[in-house]
Structure 1
Amino acid sequence: MSRQASQVKNRAPAPIQISAEQILREAADRQQAHEIEPIVKIHDAEEYQAHLRDRRKHYEDNIRYRREDVGNWVKYARFEEENKEFERARSVYERSLEVDHRSAQLWLRYAEFEMRQEFINHARNVLDRAVQILPRVDFLWYKYVYMEEMVGDLPKTRAVFERWMEWMPDDNGWLSYARFETRCGNVTQADSIMRRYVNTYPSARAFLRFAKWAEFEAKDVALARTIFESALSELEPEESRQARVFKQFASFEERQREYDRARVIYKHALSLLHLGETPSLADEEDLTNAERTKREELYKAYITFEKKHGDRQGIEDVIVTKQRAQYRERAAEHPFDYDCWFEWAKLEEEHGSVSAVRETYEKAVANVPPSEQKDHWRRYIYLWIYYAVYEELVNADLDRAFQVYETCLSIIPHKKFSFAKIWIQAAKLLIRRRELTAARRLLGRAIGQCGKERIFIEYVALELALGEVDRCRNLYSNYLKAMPHNCKAWFKYADLEKSVGETERCRAIFELAIAQPALDMPEMLWKGYIDFEIEENEGENARKLYERLLERTSHVKVWISYAQFEGTDIGKGLEGARAVFEQAYDHLKAQGLSEERVLLLDAWRVFEKSNGSQKDVADVEAKMPRRIKRKRMREDESGKDLGWEEYFDYQFPDDEGGASNNFKILEMAAKWKQQRAEASDDDSDLDSNE
């Protein structure tokens, strides 16, 4: 490459960026010239001594200019050492120590000088002085014990270690002492040293290093396991609950192929440290970032362990732990999400312990709905029911189950609303506990505080199962006083009297029931009363009831039932039934009820087909109407016309008036149309023949 090509064309700095060439050139321009010391050639002793004087004067000048600079003293001493002037070198070190006797580097250089020249006693003296002045500088102790061990003076080495241990050094000092004893074959003495170490520093770090030493250096598996167990039981909670303790303990058991032990350790860590869960705000403040990271690593190690050595159950436990963490997080964010609590409790029932299930239910029921609206309490009440059912069926603890019901009843605001299900479930539990008196007392409280129909029904069913008819009568009396409009209660009361053979009582109850001014389902009462009289073969009483019922209502179903009754054995027979049908037909015709008349005629026709002759059936069918389509104007609420709409109506043959005439006109028009069609067919046949 030519010289001209290597020159920079534009040496001015760029306004935005600087080229690499400019940077290199600027660095080269600013370099200082390197001073090369002259080569000194010595030919005789005088020149050598002169050279030494010059160099000593140079070093003395440097020391005089910078007395505190350790490097000047060390260089001076090394110069004397290289020239075999050991006394002078020793003198330089002593002078430097007078300047700065607390410089650990000076003591170290001094001791290394004595050791290099194999002045063992001098080195021992220097190190002894050094550790007395600077007992907290560990590398001086390391150098001291290293020298003593290298020269083979084991008692002296042990004595130095003991002096060092009195100052309670860090972990590595104790471990070095134990390793020294291990190398000497004194494993028992090394064990004693490590025990002194963990007593001096009762921390997780100390116990873990002790366990590691016992496993890998002492080869004592039982001792290592004991150390891990002691760490979990003897240390303070903030030390024993560190994630690395559990991780190293589990890894140790895994290395020993004790997989069941390792699994137990992992599970204990999961429950104690809540691994895999989102920590609360308080835990977030207490945990450091390093500890949080180690807990995540511990959880990942557990998952890896189960994948390697676990069975299906173990993997499911890992999944359950993760699901449990998700439910705990959901419950913390939305404590009134009762579906979350249901799912969490079910998960604990399937995979958790009894204490875990109880704890989950206790946390769930502690979230009482803030409002006093019954709709907000419906899901919440089932938490108590599930809790009590679990205690009774799974744990067989009836006392605790009843305590759950009692606590629930004390929380419900009965003055505003109540839940009959809770009262009934609690009473049934008392019955299963064979506490009948307590169950009756509880149901009495329920009637007073809740007073719902279901409580009366369950209470009556209980007394009826026990054969206490008088108690049932008293309950029905209170039931009907509270709900006189309830036809179902009247009917069940009458059915009770009927079942015990009290016919007159049953009839009297029915009479009282139908005499009530307001009933919710009166048709059920009348039907039950009539069926009762029919079952008792009291046809006349049943007929009178039908007549009384028809005075109150003229519903077509009543007429049909009345007619069918007359057609039975205790009625007046076929003629009586036909008379009722005729009477009903005339009554409905007078009221203009077309659809009801159609229903009546259908029932009448079925009756005649079953009991009458063909002529009787034909007579009824002659009365059947014709279904026709008509139009009418639709109107809105204000009376405004909305347009025409089509609807279906019935045209009866025996109806009088314009409707009947219209029907006849339509029939005549249909016949005329048919005749005309036949005539046109005849004309077409004649044309074809021609």
Structure 2
Amino acid sequence: MESPIASEVRSPALDQPSQVNSAETTPTAGTPQQQQGLANGADPAKKPESGDGLDQRIAEDPYDADAWLTMLNDAEKEGDVARVRDVYERFLKVYPTSSRYWIQYAEFELKHHHFTEVEAIFQRCLRSVLSVDLWKFYLNYIRRINTGPESKEIITKAYDFVLQYVGLDKDSGPIWSDYLFFLKSGQVQNTWEEQQKMDAMRRVYQKAVCIPHSNVENIWRDYDSFENGLNKLTAKKFLQERSAGYMTARMMLKELRKLTDGINKNLLPRPVKWTERELHQLEQWKRYIRWEKSNPLNFEDPAALSARVAWTYKQALLSMRFYPEIWFEAANYFTEIGRADEAVGLLKNACEIMPRSFLLHFAYAELEEGRKNFKESRAAFETLVKNLTDKIDDMNTKVNEEVKAAKAALQAEQQLLEGGGSNKKVRDIEEVDGEMREREREELKKRTKELQQYEKLARKEVEEMIKGCGIAWIMFMQFVRRTEGTSQWRQVFSRARRSNGCPYQVYIAAALMEYHCTKDPSIAGKVFELGYKSFSDEAEYVDQYLDFLIKLNDDSNARALFERALINMSPEKARPLWEKFSDYENKYGDLAAITKVEKRCREVYPNDSVLDRFAARYGYNDLRVIEEMDMGASIRKNIHVPALTDFASDFPPPPTVDLDNAARPGRRPLMEPVHPDLYPRPDFGMWNSYRVYPDMIRKPPPVSAAKDREMNNPQAGDLEPSTHLGRDRERERDGQDVEMRGSPGPGP
């Protein structure tokens, strides 16, 4: 069917602008730029800018939504048509899938009666932006400008055209209802026209009731009334034919709403930063696509299912514009259903949107290679390599300039602190006290450290980009080898070596391609040696080189390479090489060589376990008998053996003396000397002497009493001599005490 955009949309009304009142511009479902800016992450607290400030922000970040919306708002306030057009054109070049702003652009032109420009806008955006709001705006425009005798046919074709593109959308219910109302309200002149009208309405009803959209229940009730109003006998037949489809659509509408409620179609797409919000949106879309692929509407016709899935992918790409995986999955699906041309078009468009995407360029090149379009495949690789090398140049230039400027600023401040610089600044610095000067020095050190950290991170990003460029060169070489031959891929390798994006992996790939494809180990060895000149400090490169020499049984060169590599690497960096060479000697060398290598390993890594190294030596590949059977490695992994310090909690802690508290303020140390003023000594002259009275002296018991005790206690006589000796000594001490104390004094 011919599109009504270019032909049917035109009518005599286009030549009579007075028929369209500027106050009757078609309303849209859009919101002001400010509200849309909030929806797209704009900062409402940011102070508005204008002119060069906004242009500078957009130059630094082309996807600065807040700057764009402010610029659009300012341009419309100025009222300069040329200025507004320029801003909209620039904006829609960055956001070509934003239906809201296509509508606003068309409204602006319509307000100024620029109907040719409005139709040009529709030509540019309708087929690529499958938005219900945009297509509704188009329908309103068609109905408003077509009021002549041929308007009915034009509007009917416009409705069919619109529903062909967005009729599957769950929000398309109002369009279906409007179409039915338009058909129902049409005037007929005879029975034939009446029959044509009924057939057209039945056709639309039968399509609408089998699609899960917002008005499906209302349309079903209207359809029921429509059929029963025409003929109750045929109504049962027609309704029964569509009843199952309607019930499925009504039930699936609930599931569809659950799946799509979390999808925000109003976000302005921008390059992915992998935020939580972005990942959530991606997962929501992928879940929705999986649901559509599962054929929830029970289509018996594969074409109907594929049409709905393809439409869902196109919907997803409007907001998931910068997600390579969605483009890849969509192209893969189109290829599976036999629509390879559409798949190629999708991937080609995606490569233009994301010029440094490895996934999309490789997929596009492979698809074209499978179609024998080698020229297009090679162009894809050439484009990717160029984009990556240009990006590396830009990144290096930016980092160098920023670091150079920052270092110059820090050096100038350092000179001021040290007393250099202009006289005025020196006087200002001299007026600062020493403490302030020290704080300035510390701040300067902190900023210097931050600059070093920034430079380190920036260089790391450049290295990652270089690695990416390396895989592009490798895939390029492999493609050229498959399609053009050996000499051509060697030319690609020569270009890669001279580029700024050639990591060591490119040399490894080239050497192994020479070995496996040309069957010439000497050339492969030369490539490895060529790469060693630039990457002798890369352990992985040397490891691959060693593997190659070992496979060739070139043990002398392998040992020589090992010794050369150790000179350029630290022990930790060279550990994989030690392990590889130790394993090689253990498998293929004699005991003297094995012992020598082990001795050197112990010298380089003195903290390594001798037992573990021995067990590793007496294993082979995945056979680790010593570890498993003699050391119980697999069991020990699953059992927690507490460390020695863990047992300390099983016993109470020993008593301790709190020596620290002895020195607590307000408490005197135990050995502090006695001060005579604080602690007065007693006057011993005032004390009474101790006297012993006669009744205080213990007298020995009578002999008869002692005998009676011995008779009553026979065991007493069995006392050991030491016991008697102890008693005698007690008596002697008592007597000595009496003698020392002297005779008792006179009684009172």
Could you say whether these structures have the same fold, taking a TM-score greater than 0.5 normalized by the shorter chain as the test?
no
* Structure label with greater radius of gyration: 1
TM range (shorter): 0.3 to 0.5
TM-score (norm 1): 0.40
TM-score (norm 2): 0.37
Greater RCO structure (CA 8 Å; 6+ sep) = 2
